[in-house]
C-alpha cells in the first residue's frame, strides 16, 4: 500500500485554499487601487484603544468565524462576501494610511494582532469551502461528523490564533 505525502498536508483541498486567498487578496487589492486612484481621504486615522476587553474581542471574532463557516450552508456565498469585505476593509485602511502618511503607525497597530487574526479567518474560510463536499455524499451526517473529526485540529488552530490575536489587540 502506497502512502501519498499529499494526504498529510494541513489543507487537504488546495482549491479551497486558493479560493479563500484569492477572494481576500482581491478585496484588499480592489480597495487599495480604488482608494489610491480616486485619492479618497477620510482624514487622519485615529487608533481607538478602547475597543473592549480581551474576552469581548475574542467572542466578536468567534462570531465572525462562525458566520464565515456557516456560509457553507448557502453554498459559500456569505463566506465569499465576508472574505471580500474583510480584505476590502484592510485594503481601504492601508490606502488611507498611505494617503495620510500614517502607514508605519498603522502597521504597528494592526500587524501584531493581524498576523494571528487573518490566518485564523482564512483557515475557517478554507474549512467552510471544504465542508461543501460533505453535502454531495450519501450519508451526510456520518460524512459531516467525519469531516469535523478529521479537521478538529484546524478548527482548534483557528480558535487559538483568534485568541492570541484578541490577547494582543486587547492590550
Kindly report, residue by residue over 76-131, the tens digit of the pLDDT. Answer: 899 999 999 999 999 999 998 898 888 898 888 888 999 999 999 999 999 998 88
Task: Determine the pLDDT at residue 9.
Answer: 43
Q: Which pTM was predicted?
A: 0.83
Query: CA 13 to CA 92: how far, in whole Å?
Result: 30
Task: Provide the angle, in degrees to the nearest 10, between the axes of the packed helices 103-131 and 14-37.
Answer: 150
By the 10 Å C-beta count (0-12 exposed, 13-18 middle, 19+ buried), 78 is classed as: middle
42 found inside a domain? no
Task: Determine the pLDDT at residue 42.
Answer: 75
124 found inside a domain? yes
Res. 3: pLDDT tops 80: no
Domain span including residue 108 = 14-37+58-170
86 found inside a domain? yes
| Residue 9 DSSP class | S
44 found inside a domain? no
Task: Determine the pLDDT at residue 47.
Answer: 62
Cα–Cα distances (Å) from 83 to 60, 137, 147, in that order, read: 16, 26, 22
Query: CA 111 to CA 90: how far, in whole Å?
Result: 11
Continuous segment of H or E residues that includes residue 8: none
Query: Do 69 and 120 touch, CB atoms closer than 8 A?
Result: no
Closest Cα partner for 79 from 89, 88, 69? 69
Query: CA 159 to CA 69: how far, in whole Å?
Result: 13
50 found inside a domain? no
99 found inside a domain? yes
Query: CA 59 to CA 99: how far, in whole Å?
Result: 33
Res. 41: pLDDT tops 90: no
Q: Summarize pLDDT for 44-61 with one digit per residue, the tens.
A: 666 666 677 899 999 999
Query: Do 20 and 120 touch, CB atoms closer than 8 A?
Result: no
Task: Determine the pLDDT at residue 44.
Answer: 66
94 found inside a domain? yes
Q: Is the dihedral of CA 137, 6, 74, 56 positive or negative?
A: positive
Res. 8: pLDDT tops 60: no
Res. 5: pLDDT tops 60: no
53 found inside a domain? no
Secondary structure of 118-157 as H, E, C letters: HHHHHHHHHHHHHHHHHHHCCCHHHHHHHHHHHHHHHHHH
Q: Summarize pLDDT for 147-168 with one digit per residue, the tens.
A: 999 999 999 999 999 999 999 9
Instruction: Report the number of distinct structural domains present in the chain.
Output: 1
Continuous segment of H or E residues that includes residue 50: none
Amino acid at each position: 500500500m502506497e502512502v501519498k505525502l499529499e494526504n498529510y498536508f494541513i489543507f487537504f483541498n488546495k482549491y479551497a485554499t486558493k479560493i479563500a486567498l484569492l477572494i481576500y487578496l482581491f478585496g484588499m487589492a480592489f480597495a487599495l487601487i480604488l482608494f489610491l486612484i480616486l485619492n479618497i481621504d477620510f482624514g487622519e486615522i485615529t487608533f481607538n484603544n478602547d475597543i473592549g476587553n480581551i474576552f469581548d474581542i475574542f467572542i466578536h471574532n468567534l462570531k465572525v468565524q462562525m458566520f464565515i463557516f456557516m456560509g457553507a450552508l448557502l453554498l459559500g456565498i456569505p463566506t465569499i462576501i465576508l472574505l471580500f469585505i474583510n480584505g476590502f476593509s484592510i485594503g481601504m485602511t492601508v490606502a488611507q494610511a498611505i494617503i495620510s502618511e500614517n502607514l508605519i503607525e498603522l502597521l504597528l497597530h494592526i500587524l501584531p494582532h493581524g498576523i494571528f487574526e487573518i490566518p485564523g479567518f482564512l483557515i475557517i474560510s478554507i474549512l467552510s469551502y471544504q465542508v461543501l463536499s460533505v453535502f454531495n455524499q450519501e450519508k451526510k451526517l456520518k460524512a459531516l461528523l467525519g469531516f469535523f473529526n478529521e479537521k478538529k485540529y484546524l478548527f482548534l488552530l483557528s480558535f487559538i490564533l483568534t485568541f492570541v490575536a484578541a490577547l494582543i489587540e486587547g492590550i
